[in-house]
Chains A and B, each alone.
Chain A
Amino acid sequence: SQQGEEDPQALSIQEGENATMNCSYKTSINNLQWYRQNSGRGLVHLILIRSNEREKHSGRLRVTLDTSKKSSSLLITASRAADTASYFCATGGRGSTLGRLYFGRGTQLTVWP
């Protein structure tokens, strides 16, 4: 399967704490992206990291990529109740699957006030 797999499936923390979600994948990728989905809505793109990058920041988000381990992590610092959502990693294919994005099952993050 070309889909990424997020870990953990669910994460529950208090406001102000950091949230870390992990993603593992199996095939060679062009890039890896993280998305957020509020319940019953479409997905919103958060951050993209290319296969030749190791770390990227955007506001309170920090993403790392280790292509040797085929894994990525998303860190949300100083979480807020509004960060409550499902978070998905998506891998961009190479070769015959160039142009396609494959999503994992997501991590459900709950941030308690």
Chain B
Amino acid sequence: SQTIHQWPATLVQPVGSPLSLECTVEGTSNPNLYWYRQAAGRGLQLLFYSVGIGQISSEVPQNLSASRPQDRQFILSSKKLLLSDSGFYLCAWCESSYNLPLHFGNGTRLTVT
């Protein structure tokens, strides 16, 4: 069966520090991968979307970047965190088709201080 791993679960980082969040999927190949951010009490904002290794689509201009160095690995990064980067970050995957149900990780709670 397929599983998704996202870590760390919580993270407290000072303003200006770098960020690296990792997400890996097991049990499937060539998945579509997604990074979402959820601000407190808000909906999910799509940040990045990938259909294959090295293929990243960015939804909104921001202080973050994403990379997909391997088929089932998706990394969210920042060189210098801002206070506004605080939030709940969720990684998700689906089969490599269009708009099939997403399977989410348990998220990373990031607090930038």
Which residues of A come within 8 Å of B, CB atoms? 3, 30-31, 33, 35, 40-45, 48, 88, 90, 92-93, 98-106
Contacts and interface: CB of A to CB of B under 8 A. Distances in A.
B101 interface: yes
A100 B45 CA distance: 11
A41 B51 contact: no
A99 B103 contact: no
Interface residues of B, number: 26
Interface in B59-103: 59, 88, 90, 92, 98-103
A48 B98 CA distance: 12
B51 A33 contact: no
A43 B43 contact: no
Given A31-B99, A45-B102, A100-B49, 8 more contacts: A33-B102, A40-B109, A42-B6, A43-B102, A43-B104, A48-B100, A103-B46, A105-B43
Main secondary structure of the interface of B (DSSP, over half): strand
A75 to B, nearest CB: 19
Contacts of B106: 41-42
Contacts of B88: 40
B36 interface: yes
A106 B46 CA distance: 15
B15 interface: no
A102 B46 contact: yes
Contacts of A40: 88, 107, 109
Given A42-B90, A100-B59, A103-B36, A48 B101 contact: yes
